[in-house]
Chain A
Amino acid sequence: MKRNHLFIVGIIISTLIGSCTKIEDFLDKPPGIDLNEDIVFSAQVETEKYVATLYQFGMISVFPFRGADVGFGGNLPSSNGGFSFNMSSSLFGTTDEAEASEGFAAEQAWNNGGLTPQNIVPTQDYRYHLRWMGIRVANILLERIDEVPDASVAYKDMVKGEALFIRALNNFEMFKRYGGFPIVNKRIVTFEDSKVPRSTLEAGVNAIIKDCDEAFDKLPLVQPSSFTGRAQKGAALALKARVLLYAASPLFNTNNPPISFGNTEDDKLLCFGNFDNNRWKLAVDAAKAALDWCAANGYALIDDPAKRIPVITPGQRVDGNYRTAWEIPDNREIILSCKIYNTPKNASQFPSQYVLPRSDYVPNSGGFWTAPTVIFNFVRKYEKRDGTPQTWNPAGGNDLVQKYAELDPRFHQTVCYTGARLHSGATRVQIWEGSVSDKARCKGGFWLLKHIPDAITQSGQNFNNPIFRVNEMLLSYAEALNEFSGPTSEAYSAINQIRNRSGMPNLPLGLSKDQFRLRVQNERDIELAFEDHRLSDLRRWRIAQNDGVMQGDFWGLEINRLNMATPFPTEFSYTPFVFERRTFPNQYYYFPYDNNEVLKGNLKQNPGW
């Protein structure tokens, strides 16, 4: 009997144990780690994948992007390892180029005086936390690239050059916003390593230039066609030219910043602490070097003489050189472009949603939010075709169609105005009182045309996303040359190349240095409009607080039909009106560091925040 019991008990125990393999192994089932850092540097094919991450984390973009576009679950990285926000608007409405239509748009905080150290990351510097991830990738690549056994010296040099370029680019993105920034030139391993303080502005600029110079040494002269989008010597030169242009500009090249810590030592976080005219010489030389590289390697302005002055036919695409330059990806004017928006995007995807108006404001436009509206403050900067300023009657007038027709051909290739073609799905856009784009919805009186591929509502399109272009180098060259040695013939020539290829006459001879400066500034705004230059330019020129620039009255056009002609009215009247007042307090010249990061102790907050 007893034996029998033991037998049954034995069965119970053995059945249970048998059903769970080995008790001691029960928990030991974590996935193996097949891919670690050593593997990344064990073969060139693996390293190449890490280089893809270098670009995905490290490239800047004309349009903002969302977490999903850089391979994050949905949101962008935020402080403390979180992923908590996304950019829902283009940021174009921050300046005098446009007005964000949606109330939730990040730009409103700039226009309203609502910018704070809490919202700086979600309202402008959305890459802040991602930027350090990109710099970490660059530092790890520089640390370990020499270990890759099957890579050639040429390959290793190229990757070193790319890492240095991306690090310099991201440090420049810090410098232009914050002034002095923490220089992180190696991988941070310990908590103590992470407490990097801000360097002086001068040390920051020097670090960027050093990286640019080293990148130039290591990078290939040009990249093969299949590597378009990867940095080459020209990218390092173009970045260096931009950095030195900014460094020479009044915001930084001074001992008297627009807002001060109150002592000269701390003010070196904001500016050089002195004015040195030679900084303009460095900018001239850097721009010249970039232009020389372009000329020697087939990079040039797109200038088809037949398309300088395009024919304007209602309902038709305005096919000019300027449009070709922004619409066609990888054209010869582009030194380096961003390919974060890697695949063709349709009208309901980003970046389309940053630029298209809502479909109920422009039927068939494809937008579910509303793009910025271009404002009158911007449109009135366009000269007439003869190179003289357009005259707009402050009280309004009945000759709107004629006014538009007289403008610089680039106006017709940048702005979508009443009766113009937005894209193939909206060929004659209705903007007037009584239409769905009235002054309440389309406050500026214009929608944005630039960046929108004509076939966007038909199929997915690759958006052009240029970071460095030949035209920027010409404008920078002209600007720096004028500051250093006045309006020389080279300065004239640089500007006139840009004007001529869009059918605009040469600048008048005999301009003074100050007059020439104003013309260059205007030219830069017209030519590089909506390419994420304006906010930085206005700050470095120290003109952001001027009336109508980022402060004061902001104007739109109220447009009315003067007849009911079919299929489209033929005459319109305009009346300028103030749609809002903006403020630009002095502390806006230097961005506030994210409050959460400041409280961690290593970063000194900028004055006024």
Chain B
Amino acid sequence: MNFDVSKQFKIAIDLSTQLEDRSGNNANTSTIMNWLALANPLGAPSTSQTGNRVVTSLNGTGGNNPYTFLLAEGYKRDFRNLLNGSVRLDHKLDFITNGLNIHGIVAYQNYSRQLDIYRKQLITYRADRLPDNSVLFAQQGDDQPLLFSSSNPNTSQRTTIELALDYKRTFGDHTVTGLLLYNQLKTVDPSFAFGVPNGYQSYVGRVVYDYKNKYLAELSGAYNGTENFAPGERFGFFPSFSLGWVPTAEKFFPRNNILTFLKIRGSFGEVGNDQLSGDFLTNPNSRFLYRPTAYSTNGTFPNSTAGFYYFGEVGSNYARYNAIREGRSNNPFLTWERAQKTNLGIEANLWKDRIMVVVDIFSEERDNILAVPQTVSSLVGTALPAQNLGRMKNKGYEVDVTYRNKIKDFNYWVKANVSYATNIILFQDEITRLFPYQQRTGQRFGQIFGYISEGLYNSWEEVNDPKRPVSTFVGSNRIQPGDIKYRDVNGDGIINFLDEVPIGKPTIPETIFGFSLGANWKGFDLSVLFQGATNVSINYSRLAVQAFYDVNPASAAEYLLESWSQERFDAGLPINFPRLSVGNGTNGFTHNTQTSTFFVEDASYVRLKNMEVGYTLTDNVLKKGKIKSLRVYVNANNLITWTNVLQGIDPETPNLGANFEPYPLVRTVNVGANITF
């Protein structure tokens, strides 16, 4: 609702609410996918032929039967409410100077959620064959009442207050914009550590100057305050500025059809971070790190619950003694982590604006990164204080090119974009490892370390070669043909952690690209979108590459038929996996399941993401039926993917959890019509 109280004074009131009421089976989709992937054709038949019984297998809880799991999971009801309200007051201050405005905003957000779960103990029956060959169904578990569990209502409230003076005025060819702003944010959430609300405060000032759209300049500064640091350290000043120049707007620049527009811009700025970890609000171990070392009796100790010990004789005077513990050591000098960002860009229009090019190059250097020291011996015996340690650099570029043209009625366009970003750890408090190639400093953040695979052992001669490096994994004294041959990087004759080197690219792509084109002609239209990524690796989940993974009889993907076997090797058939072995079972053999180049694969892909063909009718015939236009179309998503990753795994959003089956990609084809009356 907007009220124009006067020409100078406006009030805007916003009120919105969003209610969600979800209900259904308590299992989520990825869990169900996981069950499906684990289901073994030889597993238990969920219901028996004699009567309506749920039967489990002999040695598993349900034989990984998804139906059994689903029945046991119960029903869930999830109620969420999000309420947003804000009042904005705007007043022109033309009576002081033209173009000056003041505004204030008070905004309030309330979120609440209630999750109820109803479940009942599933009675299952185990089929036992008796010595006389008859089958006995033995009941597993007792009949129990319906179980109801309700999460504590999860609520949070957030109040934002903003007060700002802004100014915008044009003096001939000069345009000046200015802003002075105060902002504060307070969030109340019972899950926050110590039960204390979270607050932020910031003062922002900005001046923007523009001369004839030819010279552009901006200068701004933010003075931000956080509760995470001690008074004196909690406010940080973060300046930034940018300059722009449009040479094509200069008089001296010759007008031509080749370069119609050119803009060169650059910026430099600083931003801050006050968070030790993502859970800094809820984790007492990461909040208010400057406070003097606290002792506590409950969960405010790092990662702890209440401590206690029992003394006395069991059965007579056995009693609980509550405990006090020392908390994380403090660091009163902790302050903002800073990132300095530099950006350089060019925008150009070529050949009568048919080609538009935007190029950006950026670099970011992070300093004073908040971290806990890693080189202090654990002999200290207490949680070490957080410090401003660590430096890191990010850099990259983005290029966007668009080409548009028309030939008579035929309009078409082609767009391409590519972006690249990489990072390097310049400093972290890292132990000096035995071999320099194992140092994490100097690598990308999150670099995978693992073994270099040199294929498989194919014969007993290779396995029994006295020169073969000795492998030191669980079960390594049972190496056979078909096992992975790892490179002994340091040449000590032993394959162990010292042979782990950086392998593969990051699991988040460094290079992302897209390519799209479209056209329309006399009512027909067509658009095609390709996208892809490269400089990316995937480290397959255990379920993807270990057949029958798990102690229960699980399943195996069809491509695992290409595992090494003497027969396949002799027949010269393709072999893509090591021999089948029990990795997690009773005879633990983990040689083949180490992180290695064998299973860390290039996850580059190109995908025909979307394609749409349509035809719009604007016939007079339609007009008689009072229809303005009719468009019929066919569109398809995820039509084709070109990639090296294993079948069934979506390279765009791989699930990297070690125990999870990847969620398969959905291909959709829609046929539709849009009618406008």
Residues of chain A touching chain B, judged by Cβ–Cβ distance below 8 Å, are 1-2, 5, 8-9, 12-13, 15-16, 19-20, 23, 26-31, 33, 35-37, 39-40, 46, 48-53, 55-56, 59, 67-68, 70-73, 75, 77, 79-81, 83, 101-105, 108-109, 112-114, 116-118, 128-129, 132-137, 140, 182, 184, 188, 191, 194-196, 225-230, 329-330, 339-340, 342-343, 360-361, 363, 436, 440-441, 443, 462, 564, 580-581, 583, 595-597, 599-603
Instruction: Decide yes or no whether B316 CB sits under 8 A from chain A.
Output: yes
**Closest-CB distance, A369 to chain B (whole angstroms):** 9
Asked whether B308 lies within 8 Å of A342 as measured between CB atoms, the reply is: yes
Q: Assuming A55-B309, A329-B314, is B201 touching A27 (CB within 8 A)? A: yes
| Listed residue (A36, A103, A330) with the most chain B CB atoms within 10 angstroms of its CB | A103
Q: B147: which A residues are within 8 A, CB to CB? A: none
Q: Roughly how many angstroms separate A330 CA and B311 CA in the complex, as a whole number?
A: 11
Q: A602: which B residues are within 8 A, CB to CB? A: 377, 379
Q: Assuming A101-B586, A103-B586, A104-B584, is B379 touching A37 (CB within 8 A)? A: no
Q: Assuming A5-B8, A20-B161, is B297 touching A564 (CB within 8 A)? A: no
Instruction: Decide yes or no whether B131 CB sits under 8 A from chain A.
Output: yes
| Listed residue (A1, A56, A340) with the most chain B CB atoms within 10 angstroms of its CB | A56
Asked whether B306 lies within 8 Å of A31 as measured between CB atoms, the reply is: no
| Listed residue (B95, B314, B472) with the most chain A CB atoms within 10 angstroms of its CB | B314
| Listed residue (A9, A132, A595) with the most chain B CB atoms within 10 angstroms of its CB | A9
Cross-interface CB contact of B59 among A340, A342, A441, cutoff 8 Å: A441
**Closest-CB distance, A82 to chain B (whole angstroms):** 9
Asked whether A116 lies within 8 Å of B381 as measured between CB atoms, the reply is: no
Stretch of B66-74, B431-439, B630-638 with 4 or more beta carbons under 8 angstroms from chain A: B431-439
**Closest-CB distance, B26 to chain A (whole angstroms):** 21
> What are 30 of the A-B contact pairs (CB < 8 Å)?
A12-B104, A15-B106, A20-B184, A28-B227, A29-B227, A33-B291, A36-B293, A36-B295, A40-B324, A49-B321, A68-B305, A71-B304, A81-B378, A104-B588, A112-B474, A113-B472, A114-B473, A136-B381, A184-B379, A194-B379, A195-B377, A229-B312, A329-B313, A330-B315, A339-B311, A342-B309, A360-B126, A580-B587, A597-B377, A600-B431
Cross-interface CB contact of A230 among B226, B311, B320, cutoff 8 Å: B311
Closest to B193 in A: A31
Instruction: Give the interface size class of chain B.
Output: 35 or more
**Closest-CB distance, B362 to chain A (whole angstroms):** 32
Instruction: Decide yes or no whether B102 CB sits under 8 A from chain A.
Output: yes
Cross-interface CB contact of A73 among B8, B303, B374, cutoff 8 Å: B303
Q: Roughly how many angstroms separate A361 CA and B39 CA in the complex, as a whole number?
A: 22
Instruction: Decide yes or no whether B85 CB sits under 8 A from chain A.
Output: no
Asked whether B225 lies within 8 Å of A599 as measured between CB atoms, the reply is: no
Q: B587: which A residues are within 8 A, CB to CB? A: 103, 580
Nearest 8 pairs of A and B residues by beta carbon? A136-B381, A114-B474, A342-B310, A52-B323, A71-B307, A103-B588, A132-B381, A329-B314
Q: State which residues 226-282 of B face A: CB under 8 Å.
A: 226-227, 231, 234
Asked whether B497 lies within 8 Å of A27 as measured between CB atoms, the reply is: no
Asked whether B161 lies within 8 Å of A16 as measured between CB atoms, the reply is: yes
Instruction: Decide yes or no whether B296 CB sits under 8 A from chain A.
Output: yes
Closest to A564 in B: B131
Asked whether B304 lies within 8 Å of A73 as measured between CB atoms, the reply is: yes
Q: State which residues 482-514 of B face A: CB under 8 Å.
A: 496-497
**Closest-CB distance, A188 to chain B (whole angstroms):** 5
Q: B60: which A residues are within 8 A, CB to CB? A: 360
Q: Roughly how many angstroms separate A436 CA and B431 CA in the complex, as a whole number?
A: 50
Q: Assuming A46-B324, A81-B383, is B199 touching A26 (CB within 8 A)? A: yes
Instruction: Decide yes or no whether B551 CB sits under 8 A from chain A.
Output: yes
Q: Assuming A40-B295, A49-B323, A228-B312, is B380 touching A188 (CB within 8 A)? A: yes
**Closest-CB distance, B87 to chain A (whole angstroms):** 9
Closest to B56 in A: A360
Q: Roughly how many angstroms separate A196 CA and B104 CA in the complex, as a whole number?
A: 60
Q: B374: which A residues are within 8 A, CB to CB? A: 80
Q: Assuming A73-B303, A600-B376, is B323 touching A112 (CB within 8 A)? A: no
Q: Roughly how many angstroms separate A112 CA and B587 CA in the complex, as a whole number?
A: 9
Q: Roughly how many angstroms separate A109 CA and B590 CA in the complex, as a whole number?
A: 10
Instruction: Decide yes or no whether B582 CB sits under 8 A from chain A.
Output: yes
Instruction: Decide yes or no whether B622 CB sits under 8 A from chain A.
Output: no
Cross-interface CB contact of A48 among B61, B93, B95, B321, cutoff 8 Å: B321
Instruction: Decide yes or no whether B476 CB sits under 8 A from chain A.
Output: yes
Asked whether B311 lies within 8 Å of A227 as measured between CB atoms, the reply is: yes
**Closest-CB distance, A606 to chain B (whole angstroms):** 15
Q: Roughly how many angstroms separate A603 CA and B375 CA in the complex, as a whole number?
A: 13
Instruction: Decide yes or no whether B42 CB sits under 8 A from chain A.
Output: no
Q: B477: which A residues are within 8 A, CB to CB? A: 112-113, 581, 583
Apart from A20-B186, A117-B497: 6 A-B pairs, beta carbons within 8 A: A9-B91, A26-B199, A33-B292, A36-B294, A73-B304, A83-B303
Asked whether A13 lies within 8 Å of B104 as measured between CB atoms, the reply is: yes
Asked whether A71 lies within 8 Å of B379 as measured between CB atoms, the reply is: no
Chain B 396-418: CB-based contact to A (< 8 A → 1; otherwise 0): 00000000000000000000000
Q: Assuming A37-B295, A83-B303, is B199 touching A102 (CB within 8 A)? A: no
Q: B89: which A residues are within 8 A, CB to CB? A: 12
Q: Roughly how many angstroms separate A132 CA and B384 CA in the complex, as a whole number?
A: 13
Q: A583: which B residues are within 8 A, CB to CB? A: 477
Instruction: Decide yes or no whether B326 CB sits under 8 A from chain A.
Output: yes
Instruction: Decide yes or no whether B585 CB sits under 8 A from chain A.
Output: yes
Q: A109: which B residues are within 8 A, CB to CB? A: 474
Q: B225: which A residues are within 8 A, CB to CB? A: 26-27
Asked whether B196 lies within 8 Å of A599 as measured between CB atoms, the reply is: no
Q: State which residues 77-104 of B face A: CB under 8 Å.
A: 89, 91, 93, 95, 102-104
Q: A600: which B residues are within 8 A, CB to CB? A: 375-377, 431
Asked whether B311 lies within 8 Å of A228 as measured between CB atoms, the reply is: yes
Q: Assuming A33-B292, A36-B295, A40-B295, is B93 touching A9 (CB within 8 A)? A: yes
Q: Roughly how many angstroms separate A70 CA and B314 CA in the complex, as a whole number?
A: 19
Q: B186: which A residues are within 8 A, CB to CB? A: 20, 26
**Closest-CB distance, A101 to chain B (whole angstroms):** 6
Asked whether A52 lies within 8 Å of B308 as measured between CB atoms, the reply is: yes
Closest to B382 in A: A136
Q: Roughly how many angstroms separate A35 CA and B291 CA in the complex, as a whole number?
A: 12
Asked whether B305 lies within 8 Å of A73 as measured between CB atoms, the reply is: yes
Instruction: Decide yes or no whether B322 CB sits under 8 A from chain A.
Output: yes
Cross-interface CB contact of A56 among B291, B307, B380, B476, cutoff 8 Å: B307
Q: Roughly how many angstroms separate A49 CA and B303 CA in the complex, as a whole number?
A: 19
Closest to B474 in A: A114
Asked whether B582 lies within 8 Å of A53 as measured between CB atoms, the reply is: no
**Closest-CB distance, A271 to chain B (whole angstroms):** 23
Q: B292: which A residues are within 8 A, CB to CB? A: 33, 36
Asked whether B475 lies within 8 Å of A112 as measured between CB atoms, the reply is: yes
Asked whether B313 lies within 8 Å of A27 as measured between CB atoms, the reply is: no
Asked whether A8 lies within 8 Å of B9 as measured between CB atoms, the reply is: yes
**Closest-CB distance, B19 to chain A (whole angstroms):** 27
Asked whether A56 lies within 8 Å of B323 as measured between CB atoms, the reply is: yes
Cross-interface CB contact of B433 among A40, A443, A599, cutoff 8 Å: A599
**Closest-CB distance, A354 to chain B (whole angstroms):** 17
Closest to A600 in B: B377
Asked whether A56 lies within 8 Å of B379 as measured between CB atoms, the reply is: no
Asked whether A440 lies within 8 Å of B586 as measured between CB atoms, the reply is: yes
**Closest-CB distance, A91 to chain B (whole angstroms):** 15
Cross-interface CB contact of B380 among A50, A75, A114, A136, cutoff 8 Å: A136
**Closest-CB distance, B576 to chain A (whole angstroms):** 25
Q: Roughly how many angstroms separate A178 CA and B8 CA in the complex, as a whole number?
A: 81
| Listed residue (B309, B321, B496) with the most chain A CB atoms within 10 angstroms of its CB | B309
Closest to A441 in B: B59
Instruction: Decide yes or no whether B223 CB sits under 8 A from chain A.
Output: no
Instruction: Decide yes or no whether B640 CB sits under 8 A from chain A.
Output: no
Q: Roughly how many angstroms separate A137 CA and B374 CA in the complex, as a whole number?
A: 22
Closest to B128 in A: A436
**Closest-CB distance, A59 to chain B (whole angstroms):** 8
Asked whether B310 lies within 8 Å of A339 as measured between CB atoms, the reply is: yes
Q: Roughly how many angstroms separate A505 CA and B508 CA in the complex, as a whole number?
A: 71
Q: B148: which A residues are within 8 A, CB to CB? A: none
